[in-house]
């Protein structure tokens, strides 16, 4: 039985494409003050970041130690923060826990904007963690294959780490053989972001911000980035990405959570649907050839749901290059701001369902091919194909592919992208 009827910040969605429209609101605590005549008339907040624990009387009453713990409770809907650790240079890393009214909760740290834990109920109501990750900061610092992180400036690969803008050549850091991957050696996944929790009438979240300076990892321009995670009472995690620049630069942001809807074990029996008729085939180094390839008649046809493992060992040149699935699936013929389904996954034993929606033109599906059992987190050994990723984004190597939708952001423009994780169950 499905436990979710979805609406997006006041707009009902029955599977059709919609656009996020944030809604102004105030807390129940303020409403009670108003009705009792004990407080001033509350003013709607101008932005989510303005709605913090300090704005709610209940927050100070629930605070245990203001230096290590803050919390803001609104029935079951709540956020709570604590210290997660320190970076080698002494800067403090904070963890915020977000909870909704239906048993969905997640932990986010401001190092890399990493989602370290994501709890959802199974079909019987039993909660479980559905993302791969670690228990402590030192593991994320030592060896993190992008578990749960914000990826930027450019998600995926750029050939040879090189591109040109208006005739000027740029050399990026190369951290994937001869190629540039996921923003370089010190991408956004390894940066300490500013993080501000907020609460609205039917959601809680965090706003993350980071200034990427001109020349970082070889990219031109000062890039101001903002990412907002919002957990709603409709069992959705909504993510909004924004950026502005003072020089033309490529931007392709995404979220890199590894999922296992059973909580552990192989993901090969997960039933996956990706409504894409084409992929961007790759050559050596998983760099796109520049062509589009139809999925019909190939192991890449997920237009009807099938087990991830059904065709993963089929004799296929693209599967050999990726050592499994590590490919970009085309979702849209043209780029616009409408939300479309990027992927739907059912784990048959738990009954958990994950849907990924986005306004991006493509999604990278990765089947955990490089996990080899050498990493252990949360008491679980992460073996081969024990997690999968669905990363909405623009096409790989776009700065070098003139026929791909552009990823160039110019001064005066605002980069904007949306990703939504929708959680439900099916008996």
Angle (CA) 191-195-200 rounded to 5° is 150
Q: Which pLDDT score is estimated for 12?
A: 32
Q: Which of 282, 243, 249 is nearest to 164 (CA)?
A: 249
CB atoms within 10 A of CB 345: 21
Closest CA to 286 of 346, 365, 361: 365
**Which helix (H) or strand (E) covers residue 206, if one does?**
strand 203-212
Cis status of the peptide bond prior to 153, with omega within 30 of 0: yes
Q: Is 182 part of any domain? A: yes
Domain count of the fold of the chain: 1
- pLDDT for 427 equals 86
- Report residue 72's pLDDT band, with 50, 70 and 90 as the boundaries: low
Name the active-site residue from 207, 217, 355, 391. Answer: 391
Position 322 in a domain? yes
Any domain includes 49: no
Across the range 179-186, mean pLDDT stands at: 98
Which one from 182, 256, 270, 394 is the annotated catalytic residue? Answer: 256
Rounded to two decimals, what is the model's pTM?
Answer: 0.84
Instruction: Examine residue 128 and state whether it is found in any structural domain, yes or no.
Output: no
pLDDT tens track for 231-266 = 999 999 999 999 999 999 999 999 999 999 999 999
Segments forming the whole domain that contains residue 232? 149-425
Domain CATH code at residue 310: 2.70.98.10
pLDDT for the residue 50: 34
Q: Is residue 107 domain-resident?
A: no
**Residue range 261-276: mean pLDDT, rounded:** 98
Considering only CA atoms, which of 370, 127, 147 is closest in space to residue 263?
127
d(Cα 50, Cα 189) in Å, to the nearest integer? 25
Residue 326 is assigned to a structural domain of this protein? yes
Per residue in 79-123, pLDDT tens?
Answer: 999 999 999 999 999 999 999 999 999 999 999 999 999 999 999
Of the listed ranges 73-77, 156-160, 319-323, 357-361, the least confidently predicted one is 73-77
- Residue-wise pLDDT for 338-381, tens only, equals 999 999 999 999 999 999 999 999 999 999 999 999 999 999 99
Is residue 92 among the annotated active site residues? no
Mean pLDDT (whole number) for 390-419: 98
**Does residue 225 sit within a domain?**
yes
CA 177 to chain centroid: 25
Lowest mean pLDDT segment, chosen from 18-32, 98-112, 113-127, 402-416: 18-32
273 is a catalytic site residue: no
Q: Does pLDDT of 23 surpass 70?
A: no
Residue 199 lies in a domain: yes
Going by pLDDT thresholds of 50, 70 and 90, the confidence category of residue 71 is low
């Amino acid at each position: 039985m499905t436990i979710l009827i979805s609406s997006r910040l006041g707009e009902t969605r029955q599977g059709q494409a919609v656009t996020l429209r944030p809604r102004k609101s105030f807390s129940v605590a303020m409403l009670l003050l108003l009705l009792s005549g004990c407080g001033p008339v509350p003013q709607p907040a101008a932005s989510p970041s303005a709605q913090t624990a300090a704005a709610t009387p209940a927050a100070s009453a629930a605070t245990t130690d203001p230096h290590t713990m803050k919390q803001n409770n609104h029935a079951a809907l709540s956020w709570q923060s604590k210290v997660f650790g320190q970076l080698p240079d002494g800067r403090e890393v904070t963890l915020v826990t977000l909870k909704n009214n239906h048993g969905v909760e997640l932990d986010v740290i401001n190092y890399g904007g990493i989602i370290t834990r994501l709890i959802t109920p199974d079909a019987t109501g039993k909660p479980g963690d559905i993302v791969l990750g670690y228990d402590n900061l030192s593991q994320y610092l030592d060896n993190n294959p992008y578990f749960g992180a914000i990826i930027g400036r450019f998600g995926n690969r750029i050939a040879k780490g090189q591109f040109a803008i208006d005739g000027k050549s740029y050399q990026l850091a190369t951290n994937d053989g001869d190629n540039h991957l996921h923003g370089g050696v010190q991408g956004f996944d390894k940066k300490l972001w500013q993080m501000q929790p907020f609460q609205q009438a039917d959601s809680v979240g965090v706003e993350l911000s980071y200034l990427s300076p001109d020349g970082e990892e070889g990219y031109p321009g000062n890039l101001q980035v903002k990412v907002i995670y919002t957990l709603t009472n409709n069992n959705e995690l909504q993510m909004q990405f924004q950026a502005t620049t003072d020089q033309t630069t490529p931007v392709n942001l995404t979220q890199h959570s590894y999922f296992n809807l059973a909580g552990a074990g192989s993901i090969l029996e997960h039933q996956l649907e990706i409504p894409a008729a084409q992929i961007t085939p790759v050559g050596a180094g998983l760099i796109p050839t520049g062509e589009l390839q139809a999925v019909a008649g190939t192991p890449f046809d997920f237009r009807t749901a099938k087990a991830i493992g059904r065709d993963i060992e089929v004799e296929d040149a693209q599967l050999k290059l990726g050592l499994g699935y590590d490919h970009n699936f085309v979702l849209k013929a043209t780029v616009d701001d409408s939300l479309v389904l990027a992927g739907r996954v059912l784990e048959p034993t738990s009954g958990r369902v994950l849907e990924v929606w986005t306004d991006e033109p493509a999604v990278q599906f990765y089947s955990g091919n490089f996990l080899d059992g050498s990493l252990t987190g949360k008491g679980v050994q992460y073996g081969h194909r024990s997690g999968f990723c669905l990363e909405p984004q623009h096409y790989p190597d776009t700065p070098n592919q003139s026929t791909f939708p552009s990823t160039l952001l110019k001064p005066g423009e605002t980069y904007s992208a949306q990703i939504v994780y929708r959680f439900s169950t099916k008996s």
